[in-house]
Structure 1
Amino acid sequence: MIHRPHRVRLGAVLLACSAFVTVPAAAQTPAPAEPKVVHFGTWGVDLSTRDTSVKPGDDFQRYAAGHWLDTNEIPADKSQNGIGSELADRNQEQLRAIVMTAPADSQLGAFYKSYMDEARLEQLDDAPLKPELAKIDAIKTKDEFTRYMAGTFTNYGSTLFASGPLPDPNNPKVNVSGVYSNGMGMPDRDYYLLDKYKPQRDAYRAYMQRIFEMTGVADASATADMVLAFETEIAKVSWPQTDLRDIQKLNNPMTLTELQAYAPQINWGQYLGSVGALSPRFIVGDNTALKAVAALYDKTPLETLKAWERFKVANDASPYLSKRFVDSRFTYVKTLTGAKELRPRWRRGIGEVDGRLGELLGKTYVDQYFPAQSKTMMEELVANLKKAAAKRIQGNSWMGAATKQAALTKLAKMDVMVGYPDKFRDYSKLVMKPDDLFGNIQRSAAFEWAYALEDLNKPVDRKKWAMSPATVDAYNGGLENKIVFPAGILQPPFFDPTADAAVNYGAAGAIIGHEIMHGFDDQGRKIDETGAVRDWWTADDAKRFTALTDALGKQYSSYEAAPGVFINGTLTMGENIGDMSGLEVAYEAYKMSLNGKPAPVIDGLTGPQRFFLSFAQAWRGKQREEAIKSQVATDPHSPRRYRIIGPLRNLDAWYEAFKVGPDSKFYIPPEKRVRLW
């Protein structure tokens, strides 16, 4: 399947995304200048961004970056800006320098040229799409439609029932097949059901109508109404986001016979067999939703299903067709993001190359831009963070000895991967042609699905990565008990070999700590050292943990991220725990790095002050209101402002560093601060 969102979360995985205007074809584009690494200030923090007229305890985001917030506008082609997006842009420039020097007949060169050849795409217009739509038109029965849906795993289009290999939560040494409901085109069920998302819903419906008009459907308006009504019925039976991150609710093992009896409207053996996803047993994620969607599928007229699939195919293909398709799609998408313009075409193209050939491109990227010294220093930093995490677990005041020991065992067995995978993927069998963008995407989708299926019913390969080396992000692979830090994020200001230690611990250290402590958040705590979903807690410890997380959830639910839009403290619980506990661990590691000596004072700032300023600098940025609304509805991460303020309010060290007292806006009395790890 192509660009299909995966709604069911079985691991705490952070994902980054990209986005469009016009430049000539690759062959005519001048080679870009060599991108330079940017260092921040003299020791790792840009002090000119601060607004020191604001008290740290009244608004630490503004204290650390108020001048920057006042003087920097979000670029028209973005939904947000900040440190992470600036670094991602710089990484794209580095990747572009690699791609532009790749041979024209190489996979990198051919794919990028096919994306940048706008003249050819305009000439082709919708010609590549027509054979796919003709296949839908030719469908005569539900059985034929079911087979067509299965084909979308390796092609444009969508299916009502997604699948894919994953570690068995009950036996994490082997991969089994997961099965989930699917089918909605908007970000979440709430977009279909709540009045506050009516503008986005109207834009989506208008986009459907445009697609139907552009592909020759006779009554485009009525067809759009019909398809939106169908997706709304899917939304009504779909799980809310809070349930989609509950590992226990998602862990529903079934044999094929049991699955067939549970949702009999689909021939599961035929459907999953045709896509290669058969397994001795399946993990049926959102089981009640899948059962309800199967029943909905059974009663929905074939013509409705065909119209729905027609839209899905055209929508998936739109970014790879002529400008009218690209622009039509963006007219809808911008209502979700708030972006005013498409990203430059070359940036979208490089994003596609990184997405389709990530480890091939990444191998050269790390050779050129990721020094061996950075990898060594990061591995040392991670080792220190794990020691600090162990110290905090051992010193935990509310947890009993047995649970502490289980937590320490899990921490000790947590794998850490830095920079790039030990073994890069082999892309030699993926055909990329310089004059066939539409086909390149199809072949890439089939290649990726085949790659995923290599793991099915086999031992879990924990050395495989879910992100490319150039990605500005990191993740905790929950069911694999591992943490991954791509080279792309290990650059200033997150990590700088020349920076003050407080800066690296406050930025990269907090990120590392965040990923480590995902193993002990509200979902990670349900997974043991092997990756199995198992309760390793005593009842009393679990009760005390839940009381603390309830208090933390109430704090975050009180934050108004945009007018009338409050953070969902339950949905964001795992990430909020990661932020807060990760920062605690990073601070502990920073203190340990001093080896009992006092931290130097630099530019009048103490070590703890520099640590917390570095942390805030790493989250410096602005978001459009539309993007915040979308994030609050769908994303388990809190908006960036509260990824600064939320954790700090509960850390005693922050109060001490900046002498924050009861007269400050965000002050919490010591007895009411949440102390988890």
Structure 2
Amino acid sequence: MRLRRLGGRLLVVLLLATVTATSACATPAPPGPPPAPRSGLDLTGFDRTARAQDDLYQFTNGTWLRDTQIPPDMSEYGSFSMLSQRSEADQRTLIEQAGGQAEGDSPAPADGNPRKITDLYASFMDAARLDQLKAAPLMPYFATVDQLHTPADLVRHLGAIQRFDGSNPIGLSVRHDANDATRYITEVSQSGLSLPDRDYYLSSDPKQAGVRAQYRGYIAKMFTLAGLPDPDGSASRILDLEIRLAQAQWNRVRSRDAVATYNKFNVAEATRATGLDWANYLAWAGISQPNMVIAQPTYFSTLGGLLNSVPLETWKQYLRWHLIEDHAPYLSSDFVNTRFDFVGKVLGGRQQNKERWRRAVTAVNNAMGDALGQMYVQKYFAPEAKQRADGLVRNILAAYRSSIDMLDWMSAPSKAAAKDKLAKLSVKIGYPSKWKDFTSLRVTRDDLIGNMDRAAQLEHQRAVDKLGKPVDRDEWFMNPQTVNAYYNPSMNEIVFPAAILQPPFFDAAADDAVNYGAIGAVIGHEISHGFDDQGRRYDGDGNLRDWMAPKDAEAFTAKTKALVAQYNGYSPLPGMHVNGALTLGENIADLAGLTVAHRAYQASLAGHPAAELDGFSGDQRFFLGYSQLWRSRERDETMRSSLFNDPHSPGVFRTDGVVINVDAFYQAFNVQPGNKLYRDPKDRIHIW
């Protein structure tokens, strides 16, 4: 799961003892009453003219939505982005302290990760040097492309540039074998487009046609800046080639099908099936494993033909373009500004680029995120947060087990298999148990592009080195300083980085109701990904095996179809709707996660009534805390892109679209027929 965006350092509950002494013989004052508990709700953001029974999202967030402007350098702004901004500021402090840039700080040692991080950051911040270099850092890459003379050369080159994560029509990764989660395997998937989704190339909508025209102009301008010949003709040929690639690609709904995208071949079979010389390609990528998975075989059959039928010079122009596009953030300001004018403004609706230091922090995260994360948790992650989160996870897992027992659509054998998978779930909180080794990475202050490419090469080699070795179950796929969380079906694990365990997701000084409604629902969400329409296809050991009885699977599918239909009806922009099939996994996880988190909250009360705080009951605060979590404003351009390619629904529907199916919400706010969020009990969708 990619959650979406937030800021703030974790609050830790401290036991304070205050002793008042006016003289040596003074008697200690008797202890006063304990401070009243704090709800954790941002009441200033509420819209009291709205009714929770009609629009919970507006009631909780309406004043905030009215009064908050999206910062000019952002495409959206809300809980996730606010916390992400704070995390970025904390990371900047760490980097500058390590570099001795703050008064009284000692510089980092001559070697080691802190020194490499500060040198990498400095290489990005040296805008004057980059402006002097112009396109010079790209020339060695262009020279390599110039040496391609045959289709076989082209295939070898596509393999070679995987070593530094160069964009091309083939996406390469090393993953767990879905049929044997104890092993790694090479997987290739469709890739090679610069626009956000294939539909940007194929749609007849005038807005998308306009984006394509601006994209063509963007390519031409970048070719001019790079000093390459025939910029207009090259741009047209590149766009035409990307349209042909888009026509061959699977849509996002089909590409999220775990079964349809698992197609295992040996290398010789893969070559016969697609017409692409995989042995040649893989050898140049540094891989010699005999087997591979092809996620979208029909795409690669088309690609195999295009590599031979499209003029080689067109492919070389395409490769030069993607070299420019990949490296533009690390070049002179004319490249950076031109890229922002299209990617930032046209596609994202932003008015100005992010501050340079924020972009530098992003670059450090891309290259050495794990090393920066080690510094981050030492300063900003309290052990108490991990302990409290562990307790929440245990409570929600217990609620999940009882929820499985209560299912009226699932048979006993399937329930036993579901509980077996739940029992095998691994939980990772805060940070990894071991850190990545960056000893071999060379970083210098005068070679930004070299730094980034060498870091990418190191990660590529790290991935390739996994092949033939036992699966590393301690590995993390997200940095501790990232405001997000995920479920990994091949590892059957949920992972919560340190940075998300902060307000408003988790506030150790606040009321349990709001914490269960916020981070509790997030925890429940991630657990539920193991039981969504794709996650349920994996067993407790991470293997692609359908453990659900056929009749149970039919009942499950009927419920998910109803959820697809519900979300298909939401229209956040005129003429555009949420794609219920694309967002199905996240919508299932939202619904199940909130339902189970509420049961866990109720269990935590042990039969005692929750106190009223801020005028709301405990159950009401639970749902208000959940709604507050999805507070966000998004530019139309970003929303349009999200509706094409984001598996998450917009925040308003992650709130109101969920609670209309949760019986406890009706009870908490006395939702009655005639209220806008009322749904007849027989029409409410209950899955887990």
TM-score, scaled to structure 1: 0.94
How much does 1:179 deviate? 1.5
Does 1:291 pair with 2:287? no
How much does 1:271 deviate? 0.8
Check the 8 A contact 2:91/2:361 in 1, yes or no: yes
- What residue is the counterpart of 1:422 in the other structure? 433
How much does 1:200 deviate? 2.1
Q: Which of 315, 320, 335 is the matching residue for 1:325?
A: 335
How much does 1:578 deviate? 0.4
SS at match of 2:260: helix
Distance in 2 between residues matched to 1:583 and 1:17, nearest whole Å = 19
For residues 272-300 of structure 1, the C-alpha deviation after alignment (integer angstroms, 9 at most, x for no partner) is: 12212332321111111111111222211
SS at match of 1:283: strand
Distance in 2 between residues matched to 1:559 and 1:277, nearest whole Å = 46
| Number of residue-to-residue matches in the alignment | 648
Structure 2 CA distance for partners of 1:459 and 1:162, relative to 1, 3 Å = same
Check the 8 A contact 1:189/1:238 in 2, yes or no: yes
How much does 1:218 deviate? 2.6
For residues 602-640 of structure 1, the C-alpha deviation after alignment (integer angstroms, 9 at most, x for no partner) is: 122100100011101111111111111111101111111
- What residue is the counterpart of 1:543 in the other structure? 554
Paired residue type of 1:400? S
Check the 8 A contact 1:203/1:332 in 2, yes or no: yes
Does 1:259 pair with 2:247? no
Q: Which of 349, 360, 380 is the matching residue for 1:369?
A: 380
Does 1:206 pair with 2:209? no
- What residue is the counterpart of 1:435 in the other structure? 446
SS at match of 1:172: strand
Paired residue type of 1:402? P
For residues 390-431 of structure 1, the C-alpha deviation after alignment (integer angstroms, 9 at most, x for no partner) is: 111111111110101100000110100000001111111111
Distance in 1 between residues matched to 2:377 and 2:166, nearest whole Å = 34
How much does 1:146 deviate? 1.8
SS at match of 2:677: coil
Distance in 2 between residues matched to 1:15 and 1:208, nearest whole Å = 32
Q: Which of 43, 47, 54 is the matching residue for 1:47?
A: 43
How much does 1:526 deviate? 0.7
How much does 1:251 deviate? 0.8
Does 1:601 pair with 2:612? yes
Distance in 2 between residues matched to 1:42 and 1:536, nearest whole Å = 44
Does 1:73 pair with 2:69? yes
- What residue is the counterpart of 2:59 in the other structure? 63
How much does 1:38 deviate? 8.1
Q: Which of 523, 526, 540 is the matching residue for 1:515?
A: 526
- What residue is the counterpart of 1:112 in the other structure? 121
- What residue is the counterpart of 1:10 in the other structure? none
Paired residue type of 1:479? S
Paired residue type of 2:282? L
SS at match of 1:177: strand
Q: Which of 649, 657, 674 is the matching residue for 2:668?
A: 657
SS at match of 1:228: helix
Q: Which of 226, 233, 248 is the matching residue for 1:215?
A: 226
Check the 8 A contact 2:73/2:350 in 1, yes or no: yes
How much does 1:322 deviate? 0.2
Report matched runs for 1:587-626 at 5 Å. Answer: 587-626=598-637
Distance in 2 between residues matched to 1:99 and 1:432, nearest whole Å = 15
How much does 1:132 deviate? 1.1
Q: Which of 80, 87, 101 is the matching residue for 2:83?
A: 87
Distance in 1 between residues matched to 2:668 and 2:288, nearest whole Å = 57
Report matched runs for 1:49-448 at 5 Å. Answer: 49-102=45-98, 103=107, 105=110, 106-155=115-164, 157-196=166-205, 197-264=208-275, 266-333=276-343, 334-448=345-459
Distance in 2 between residues matched to 1:253 and 1:174, nearest whole Å = 13
- What residue is the counterpart of 2:652 in the other structure? 641
Check the 8 A contact 2:11/2:509 in 1, yes or no: no
Between 1:138-147 and 1:369-378, the stretch displaced more is: 138-147
SS at match of 1:367: helix
Distance in 2 between residues matched to 1:628 and 1:550, nearest whole Å = 24
Between 1:199-208 and 1:238-247, the stretch displaced more is: 199-208
Q: Which of 475, 478, 490 is the matching residue for 1:467?
A: 478
Check the 8 A contact 2:11/2:507 in 1, yes or no: no
Paired residue type of 1:292? T
Paired residue type of 2:319? E
- What residue is the counterpart of 1:666 in the other structure? 677
SS at match of 1:128: helix
Paired residue type of 1:525? R
SS at match of 1:270: helix
Unaligned segments of structure 2, at least 5 residues? 13-36, 99-106
Paired residue type of 1:238? Q
Distance in 1 between residues matched to 2:384 and 2:117, nearest whole Å = 28
Distance in 1 between residues matched to 2:560 and 2:96, nearest whole Å = 50
Paired residue type of 2:2? L
- What residue is the counterpart of 2:580 in the other structure? 569
SS at match of 2:175: strand
Check the 8 A contact 1:57/1:665 in 2, yes or no: yes
For residues 321-369 of structure 1, the C-alpha deviation after alignment (integer angstroms, 9 at most, x for no partner) is: 0000001111111222111110111011111112211121111211111
Q: Which of 632, 640, 643 is the matching residue for 1:632?
A: 643
Paired residue type of 1:93? A
Distance in 1 between residues matched to 2:391 and 2:11, nearest whole Å = 23
Between 1:49-58 and 1:396-405, the stretch displaced more is: 49-58
Does 1:14 pair with 2:2? yes
Check the 8 A contact 2:10/2:381 in 1, yes or no: no
Distance in 2 between residues matched to 1:504 and 1:199, nearest whole Å = 45
Distance in 1 between residues matched to 2:349 and 2:288, nearest whole Å = 41
How much does 1:107 deviate? 0.7
Distance in 1 between residues matched to 2:662 and 2:519, nearest whole Å = 18
Structure 2 CA distance for partners of 1:467 and 1:571, relative to 1, 3 Å = same
SS at match of 2:384: helix
What percentage of aligned pairs have identical amino acids?
Answer: 40
Distance in 2 between residues matched to 1:284 and 1:315, nearest whole Å = 26
Distance in 1 between residues matched to 2:49 and 2:675, nearest whole Å = 14
Distance in 2 between residues matched to 1:625 and 1:163, nearest whole Å = 32
SS at match of 1:483: strand
SS at match of 2:490: helix
Paired residue type of 2:631? R
Paired residue type of 2:88? Q
Q: Which of 454, 458, 467 is the matching residue for 2:469?
A: 458
SS at match of 1:247: coil
Distance in 2 between residues matched to 1:664 and 1:335, nearest whole Å = 40
Distance in 1 between residues matched to 2:458 and 2:392, nearest whole Å = 36
Output the aligned Cα RMSD: 1.6
Structure 2 CA distance for partners of 1:610 and 1:365, relative to 1, 3 Å = same
Distance in 1 between residues matched to 2:147 and 2:4, nearest whole Å = 38
SS at match of 1:565: coil
Check the 8 A contact 2:175/2:186 in 1, yes or no: yes
SS at match of 1:416: strand
Check the 8 A contact 1:16/1:471 in 2, yes or no: no
Structure 2 CA distance for partners of 1:136 and 1:16, relative to 1, 3 Å = farther
How much does 1:157 deviate? 3.5
SS at match of 1:563: coil
Check the 8 A contact 1:176/1:280 in 2, yes or no: no
Check the 8 A contact 2:10/2:501 in 1, yes or no: no
How much does 1:35 deviate? 7.7
Distance in 2 between residues matched to 1:354 and 1:128, nearest whole Å = 22
SS at match of 1:175: strand
Q: Which of 494, 499, 512 is the matching residue for 1:483?
A: 494
How much does 1:461 deviate? 1.1
Paired residue type of 2:170? F
Distance in 2 between residues matched to 1:362 and 1:486, nearest whole Å = 10
